[in-house]
């Protein structure tokens, strides 16, 4: 193990074990991790939502230019029914 040959890494490992043994510190760490994962999930949702809105806008623009629904569906990835609703 690298910690056996490197004193700095061994010190970090020792601190990690010390922190891990403290239930309060571990609970705080878990809360921070959960908050971070929740925030990442929220950002992923915003990205997907923005991407869907962009597709709808592109489809509306192509439809306004007279492009056929079949071509829009192939180019944008929306169904003909979704395009008809725009």
At 50, list the tokens: 């923005």
What ranges do the domains of the chain cover?
2-84
Q: Pick the closest to residue 59 from 81, 35, 86 (CA basis).
A: 86
Cα separation, 23 vs 28, in Å, equals 9
pLDDT at 67: 93
The pTM (predicted TM-score) of the whole model is: 0.50
Q: Hey, is 16 helix, strand or coil?
A: helix
For each of the chain's 86 residues, which pLDDT tens digit applies? 666 788 888 888 888 887 777 788 788 888 988 999 999 999 888 888 888 889 999 999 999 999 999 999 999 999 999 998 88
User: Would you list the DSSP string of 18-36?
Assistant: HHHH-HHHHHHHHHHHHHH
- Name, in order, each residue with C-beta under 8 angstroms of 52's C-beta and a sequence gap of 6 or more: none
């Amino acid at each position: 193990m690298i910690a056996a040959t490197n004193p700095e890494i061994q010190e970090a490992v020792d601190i990690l074990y010390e922190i891990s043994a403290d239930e309060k510190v571990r609970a705080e760490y878990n809360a921070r991790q959960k908050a971070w994962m929740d925030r990442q999930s929220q950002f992923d949702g915003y990205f997907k939502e923005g991407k869907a809105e962009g597709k709808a806008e592109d489809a509306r623009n192509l439809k306004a230019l007279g492009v056929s629904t079949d071509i829009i569906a192939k180019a944008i990835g929306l169904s003909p029914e979704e395009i008809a609703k725009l």
